[in-house]
Chains A and B, each alone.
Chain A
Amino acid sequence: MQIVCILLAEERIIVYALNIFTGTWLEAVPFFVLGVLFSAVVAVFIPDGFIQRIFPRNTFAGIIFGVIGGFLLPVCDCASVPVYRTLVKKGIPLPAAAAFLTAAPAVNPVVMLCTWYAYGGNIRIVISRTLLGMLCSVLTALTFIGTRQETQYSEKYRFRIQRENTGCLITGRNSFSEKLSAVLVRSRQEFLTAGVWQTAGIAIATVFQVWMNRTGVFAAGSFPRNSVLPSGGNVITAILGMQGLAYCLSLCSTSDAVICSVIGKNLPPAAQLAFLVFGPMMDIKNTILLSGMCSFRLAVRLAVTAFMICFLVMLAVSSVGGEAALL
C-alpha cells in the first residue's frame, strides 16, 4: 500500500521518465537501424580483404582516413558503433576505426549546421568544435597504436560473432536477391544483439536525466538553474563538470548545441566546447552499447581515454589564452 501511495504521488516523475525514454528511443533507433543496415551492407557486399587492400598502410594516414570517413558519413553516435564494429571485422586497423568512431558523431556537416543554428550563426564555435573534435579523435586513436584487435574483444563476443556467422545465408552467396536477404537477416541479428545494450543505455540515461531534473542540475523544458553547475571562475571545475554532464545526459549530437548554448551561457568557452566535443564521442548510452557489441574493457578504455584527452586539450587551449578565439 505504501509503495502504491509513493507511486501515485510520483506519477508525474513516472510520466516524465516515460516521455524521456520513449522520446530518446524514437530518436535513437531509426539511426541505429540505419547504422546496422549500413554495416550489414558492408559485411555482405564488400568482399573480405577489399577494404584492407585500399586502406592506407601507414597508421597515421589511416587515422586521418578514419576522421575524414567520419566527416563524410553523417551518422550520430547510435549508428557509429555498429559501423565501427563491422569496419574492425573487415580488417581496418583499430586506431583508424577508433578515429572513425569518435569523429563521426561530432564532426559531420549535419552537426555543424545544428551548432551554427544553436549559437545564432556564430561560425567560430562551429569551426572550434569541428577542429577540436578532429584533434581529440586523432589523439584518442593514437593511444590505440600497438593494440591488437583480438585483445579488445571478450571470449563471449567472439562466440557471439561466430553464432551470427553460422548459416550459409549470411555470406558467400552470389545471387543479388540472396545477398539482399542476407543483409536483412544480418541487420536484424545485429539489432537484436545490440538492442539489449541500446535499450539499457537509454534507460540509464533516462534515470540520470530524471535525477538531474529532481535536483535542479538540468531540467528539460524549464529555465536552466546554474546553482549546481560550476561557476565560470574555475575553469578546471567547469570543464570537468560540463564533460560529466555531457556523459550523463547522453544527448544526440544534433541537439546538444542547443542545450549547451543555454546551460553553458555563463561558463568559459573551453567548458562549453568540452561539452560539445566530448558528448558525441562518449556517453552512457555509447559506453553500454560498446561494451555489449565489443567488450567492456574496450568501452571503459575508450571512455576514460576520450575523457582525459578532451579535458587536457580544453585545458591547454584555455591556458594559452586561446579562448577568445573559440567563441
Chain B
Amino acid sequence: MKKNGQLAGIAIRAFLFGFLGLLLVRIAVDGISRYFVVPRLSPFIAGTGFLFLLWALQDIYILSGFGHSAEYGFTGYTAFLPLAVFCMVMILAAVAVVRKKNTVAWISPAEYIKPKPVSGPVTENGLKTLIKKYPESRIAEEEKAADSSSASNSGMLVVHTLKTDSGKLLEGYYPETGKIVISDTDMAGWITEIAEHTQQYTGWTVSMKGQVVMDPSIFEPGTFTPARQLMTCCVADLSVIGLTCLYDAKGPFRMLIRPDEWIQVTGILKQGSFRGDPEPQVLCTSIEKAQPPAVPYVYP
C-alpha cells in the first residue's frame, strides 16, 4: 500500500511539473509573461519550464518501471500543495490576461523591435535630410547605410532612429523638422534622453500617448502628465513615468483631460521646474483621445 501511495504521489508530482513546465514555456514564448515580468526574463522563464519538464520526465521514468522510487527520495505530499495552488493561480491570472487580450490588438514583440518605413512622398527636402548629418553621431549607423540605397528606390521616407549615449535605439526622431514622436514602447528611453539633453530639445515638438494623471496633491491646476507604467523587474515594482504637461485649465482641453483617460498629447518642449527641481515640460498644443496601447507597460 505504501509503495502504491508513493507511486501515486510521484504520478501527481509528474503531472504538476509537466503541466507547470508547459505553462511556463507557453507564456514565455507567447509573450504573456510581459504582463507580469520584463521581457528580458522570458528566456529564464522558458528555461525554468524546460527544467520542470525534465523533472517530470524523470518521474515518468520511475513510473514506467525502470527506476526505483526509493532512490529518488520521495518527500511526501505536502510539497505538492503550494505547487498546485500556484498552478491554479497562474491559470486564473492567465485567463484574466487572455480575456483582456481580446479587447486590445496584440502586437508580437518582433513587430516593434525594428523601425519600419513610413510610406509617404519623398520630397527633395526629405531626401536631403536622409544624408544630413544632424548631429552625425545621433543617427544610427545602420540607418545611414540603408538610407542612401533604399530610400530613393522605394519612394518611402524612412523613420529616423536615434542612437542614445547608452547605445539604445529610439524610433520617432525627426531632426529635420525638430519633432519627436514617442511610440507606445519607447516612452522610458525618450524620457531619459529628453531629461539628459533638455537644452538640445528645447523648442522641439513632442507627441506621446499616456494615461492622464492629475492628482491634486501632486499637480497644480493646469498641469498633468500623460503617464505610462514602467516595469523594471516585475509588476511589484511598477512606477509611473511621464513628462509634465501644461495646459490652459479653462480652455477647450479641459474636457479631454480627465483622470485615467488615454490621450495623445502634442506640444512644445521647454525647460521648467517641478517642486524646485528643473525638468523638461511640454506646452500642450494638441490633445486627442487615444486607444490604450497593446502592451500596458513600458520597460527600461
Contacts and interface: CB of A to CB of B under 8 A. Distances in A.
Interface of A: 15, 18-27, 29-31, 33-34, 37, 114, 117-118, 163-170, 181, 184-185, 187-189, 192-193, 195-196, 198-200, 205, 209, 220-223, 225, 249, 251-252, 254-256, 258-259, 262
A277 B234 CA distance: 20
Nearest to A225: B217
A192 B75 contact: yes
A252 B40 CA distance: 15
24 contacts: A20-B236, A21-B93, A22-B36, A22-B90, A22-B235, A23-B36, A26-B234, A33-B51, A114-B232, A118-B232, A163-B73, A166-B70, A166-B73, A185-B72, A185-B73, A193-B79, A200-B82, A220-B236, A220-B237, A221-B240, A223-B215, A252-B234, A254-B232, A255-B237
A25 B37 CA distance: 10
A58 to B, nearest CB: 37
B107 interface: no
B73 A220 contact: no
Nearest to B20: A29
Nearest to B92: A18
B218 A223 contact: yes
A25 B237 contact: no
Given A188-B55, A199-B86, A23 B234 contact: yes
A223 B240 contact: yes
Given A23-B235, A30-B41, 18 more contacts: A18-B89, A19-B35, A21-B89, A23-B234, A23-B236, A27-B36, A27-B41, A34-B44, A117-B300, A165-B73, A184-B54, A188-B55, A192-B75, A196-B82, A199-B86, A209-B236, A220-B238, A223-B213
Interface of chain A: mostly helix, strand, loop or mixed: helix
A117 B54 CA distance: 37
Nearest to B237: A255
Q: Top 10 A-B pairs ranked by shortest CB distance?
A: A255-B233, A23-B235, A221-B238, A30-B44, A23-B234, A199-B82, A23-B36, A192-B79, A27-B234, A255-B237
B47 interface: yes
Contact of B239 (A37, A165, A181, A262): A262
A220 to B, nearest CB: 4
A33 B234 contact: no
A256 B41 contact: no
A120 B70 CA distance: 55
A252 B37 CA distance: 12
A258 B233 CA distance: 10
* B interface residue count range (under 10 / 10 to 19 / 20 to 34 / 35 or more): 35 or more
A168 B36 contact: no
Nearest to B277: A265
A209 to B, nearest CB: 6
A256 B237 contact: yes
Given A15-B96, A18-B92, A30-B45, A23 B232 contact: no
A242 to B, nearest CB: 16
Contacts of B200: none
A251 B237 contact: yes
B205 interface: no
A43 B137 CA distance: 52
A19 B17 CA distance: 22
Contacts of B239: 220-221, 258-259, 262
Contact of A252 (B13, B81, B233): B233
B48 interface: yes
B78 interface: yes
B202 interface: no
Interface string B212-229: 010101100000000001
Interface string B77-88: 011111101100
A199 B80 CA distance: 11
B142 interface: no
Nearest to B36: A23
A187 B58 CA distance: 12
Contacts of B47: 30
B211 to A, nearest CB: 10
B71 interface: yes
A5 to B, nearest CB: 20
B136 to A, nearest CB: 24
A79 B73 CA distance: 23
B120 to A, nearest CB: 36
A196 B82 CA distance: 6
Interface string B8-22: 000001000100000
B71 A184 contact: no
Contacts of B238: 220-221
B233 A189 contact: no
A169 to B, nearest CB: 4
Contacts of A34: 44
Interface in B44-78: 44-45, 47-48, 51, 54-55, 58, 70-73, 75, 78
